[in-house]
Amino acid sequence: MGKEHKNKRFKDTDMQIVIGWLLRIGVYVSITVVIIGGIFFLYRHGSTVADYRSFKGVPGFIQNLGDIMHNVVLLRGQAIIQLGIILLLATPILRVIFSAIGFMLEKDYLYIFISVLVLLIIIASALSGGAG
């Protein structure tokens, strides 16, 4: 029991270090992408009028992932910003996937189940998003 306990603690701290790095890199990378997109956008459209009083959704060329990627290649500012936002959104989701892998290494079946359940809820939410 004593040995097993020691082993488990070691893996828990391992997981903490990996998760800490993952979160940090995710935030750095996505914010950098957002800022680059912002510079492109402001350089080209900085003098246009800002009017967001009524809700009109987002421009047509960034409405789905395929269009966003296509326009990122064309260096369109709003598409690059949106890519950065998607990377930021993916960071905590990746964290859940990494936790699941960590619990697999620890053979902690209960928490593998819990991590997968959380992932499934997020996936269900993403799939329902188009509706309504």
**In the complex, what is the shortest distance from the CB of residue 58 to other proteins, in angstroms, rounded to a whole number?**
4
What's the angle, vertex CA 110, arms to CA 108 and CA 116, rounded to 5? Answer: 100
Q: What are the distances in angstroms from CA 109 to CA 13, 82, 100, 113, 120?
A: 18, 36, 10, 6, 16
107 sits near other proteins (criterion: CB under 8 A): no
87 sits near other proteins (criterion: CB under 8 A): no
- Half-sphere exposure for 34 (CA within 13 Å, toward CB): 12
Q: Which is nearer to other proteins, 70 or 114 (CB)?
A: 114
> In whole angstroms, what is the distance from residue 96 CA to residue 125 CA?
15
Write the CB contacts of 102 (distance below 8 Å, at least 6 apart in sequence). 11, 14, 15, 18, 19
116 sits near other proteins (criterion: CB under 8 A): no
CA-based R_g, the chain, Å:
20
List the interface residues with other proteins, window 14-53 (CB under 8 A).
15-17, 19-21, 23-24, 26-27, 30-31, 34-35, 37-38, 41-42, 45-50, 52-53
Q: Which of 2, 6, 57, 66 binds other proteins (CB under 8 A)?
A: 57
Both tokens of 126, joined, read 């993403």
Binding site for other proteins (CB under 8 A): 12-13, 15-17, 19-21, 23-24, 26-27, 30-31, 34-35, 37-38, 41-42, 45-50, 52-58, 62-63, 77-79, 81-82, 85-86, 88-89, 91-93, 95-96, 99, 108, 110-111, 114-115, 117-118, 121-122, 124-126, 128-130, 132
